[in-house]
Amino acid sequence: MTGRSHDARRTADEPSPEELRERIEHTRDQLGRTVEALAAKADVAAQARQKTAAVKEQATEKATLVTGRIRGGVEHVAHLAAEKTPDPVLDKAGRAALITVGAALIVFLLVRGNRRRHR
Protein backbone atom coordinates (compact mmCIF):
# COMPACT_ATOMS: atom_id res chain seq x y z
CA MET A 1 0.00 0.00 0.00
CA THR A 2 2.68 2.43 0.74
CA GLY A 3 3.98 1.84 -2.77
CA ARG A 4 0.71 2.94 -4.31
CA SER A 5 0.39 6.09 -2.23
CA HIS A 6 3.95 6.95 -3.16
CA ASP A 7 3.14 6.52 -6.89
CA ALA A 8 -0.02 8.63 -6.55
CA ARG A 9 1.91 11.40 -4.84
CA ARG A 10 4.58 11.30 -7.54
CA THR A 11 2.12 11.70 -10.38
CA ALA A 12 0.43 14.61 -8.62
CA ASP A 13 3.75 16.48 -8.18
CA GLU A 14 5.28 15.64 -11.54
CA PRO A 15 4.16 17.30 -14.77
CA SER A 16 2.14 15.33 -17.26
CA PRO A 17 3.74 14.02 -20.45
CA GLU A 18 1.97 16.81 -22.38
CA GLU A 19 3.42 19.46 -20.05
CA LEU A 20 6.85 17.93 -20.46
CA ARG A 21 6.50 18.02 -24.25
CA GLU A 22 5.50 21.71 -24.08
CA ARG A 23 8.48 22.53 -21.86
CA ILE A 24 10.80 20.64 -24.19
CA GLU A 25 9.39 22.46 -27.24
CA HIS A 26 9.74 25.83 -25.50
CA THR A 27 13.33 25.03 -24.51
CA ARG A 28 14.14 23.97 -28.08
CA ASP A 29 12.70 27.22 -29.44
CA GLN A 30 14.80 29.26 -27.01
CA LEU A 31 17.89 27.25 -27.82
CA GLY A 32 17.29 27.69 -31.55
CA ARG A 33 16.99 31.47 -31.17
CA THR A 34 20.15 31.55 -29.07
CA VAL A 35 22.07 29.54 -31.66
CA GLU A 36 20.84 31.84 -34.45
CA ALA A 37 21.92 34.92 -32.49
CA LEU A 38 25.36 33.45 -31.83
CA ALA A 39 25.74 32.41 -35.47
CA ALA A 40 24.83 35.92 -36.61
CA LYS A 41 27.47 37.41 -34.30
CA ALA A 42 30.05 34.94 -35.56
CA ASP A 43 29.25 35.64 -39.24
CA VAL A 44 31.96 38.24 -39.78
CA ALA A 45 31.48 38.27 -43.55
CA ALA A 46 27.81 39.21 -43.23
CA GLN A 47 28.67 41.94 -40.74
CA ALA A 48 31.31 43.29 -43.12
CA ARG A 49 28.80 43.31 -45.99
CA GLN A 50 26.28 45.19 -43.85
CA LYS A 51 28.86 47.73 -42.77
CA THR A 52 30.09 48.14 -46.36
CA ALA A 53 26.55 48.74 -47.57
CA ALA A 54 25.99 51.36 -44.87
CA VAL A 55 29.23 53.17 -45.70
CA LYS A 56 28.43 53.03 -49.42
CA GLU A 57 25.00 54.54 -48.79
CA GLN A 58 26.49 57.35 -46.70
CA ALA A 59 29.12 58.06 -49.36
CA THR A 60 26.46 58.16 -52.08
CA GLU A 61 24.36 60.60 -50.07
CA LYS A 62 27.36 62.86 -49.44
CA ALA A 63 28.42 62.70 -53.08
CA THR A 64 24.92 63.64 -54.19
CA LEU A 65 24.89 66.57 -51.79
CA VAL A 66 28.33 67.79 -52.87
CA THR A 67 27.46 67.36 -56.55
CA GLY A 68 24.37 69.49 -56.09
CA ARG A 69 26.39 72.21 -54.37
CA ILE A 70 29.05 72.15 -57.07
CA ARG A 71 26.45 72.34 -59.84
CA GLY A 72 24.85 75.33 -58.20
CA GLY A 73 28.23 77.06 -57.91
CA VAL A 74 29.23 76.22 -61.48
CA GLU A 75 25.92 77.49 -62.84
CA HIS A 76 26.36 80.72 -60.91
CA VAL A 77 29.94 81.20 -62.16
CA ALA A 78 28.91 80.35 -65.73
CA HIS A 79 26.11 82.89 -65.56
CA LEU A 80 28.48 85.58 -64.26
CA ALA A 81 31.06 84.73 -66.93
CA ALA A 82 28.42 84.86 -69.67
CA GLU A 83 27.29 88.29 -68.51
CA LYS A 84 30.81 89.75 -68.54
CA THR A 85 32.15 88.05 -71.68
CA PRO A 86 31.88 90.02 -74.95
CA ASP A 87 29.74 88.52 -77.75
CA PRO A 88 32.61 87.84 -80.22
CA VAL A 89 34.40 85.77 -77.59
CA LEU A 90 31.20 83.82 -76.87
CA ASP A 91 30.81 83.04 -80.58
CA LYS A 92 34.34 81.64 -80.75
CA ALA A 93 33.75 79.66 -77.58
CA GLY A 94 30.62 78.14 -79.11
CA ARG A 95 32.59 77.04 -82.14
CA ALA A 96 35.36 75.63 -79.96
CA ALA A 97 32.81 73.65 -77.97
CA LEU A 98 31.28 72.29 -81.17
CA ILE A 99 34.70 71.25 -82.47
CA THR A 100 35.51 69.60 -79.13
CA VAL A 101 32.26 67.63 -79.12
CA GLY A 102 32.85 66.54 -82.71
CA ALA A 103 36.39 65.40 -81.93
CA ALA A 104 35.18 63.48 -78.88
CA LEU A 105 32.52 61.78 -81.00
CA ILE A 106 35.10 60.75 -83.60
CA VAL A 107 37.42 59.34 -80.92
CA PHE A 108 34.51 57.44 -79.35
CA LEU A 109 33.50 55.91 -82.68
CA LEU A 110 37.09 54.92 -83.48
CA VAL A 111 37.58 53.27 -80.09
CA ARG A 112 34.27 51.42 -80.31
CA GLY A 113 35.06 50.20 -83.83
CA ASN A 114 38.51 49.10 -82.73
CA ARG A 115 37.05 47.08 -79.84
CA ARG A 116 34.58 45.34 -82.15
CA ARG A 117 37.36 44.27 -84.50
CA HIS A 118 39.38 42.70 -81.67
CA ARG A 119 36.54 40.48 -80.42
Stretch 40-54: mean pLDDT: 86
Sequence-ordered alpha helix ranges (H) in the chain = 2-13, 17-42, 44-84, 87-117
Q: What's the confidence (pLDDT) of residue 1?
A: 47
**CB within 8 Å of 15: residues ≥ 6 apart:** 23
Q: What's the confidence (pLDDT) of residue 117?
A: 75
The identity of residue 3, as a single letter, is G
- What gap in Å lies between CA 10 and CA 5, rounded to an integer? 9
Q: What's the confidence (pLDDT) of residue 57?
A: 94
- What gap in Å lies between CA 47 and CA 32, rounded to an integer? 20
Say if CB 25 and CB 17 are below 8 A apart. no
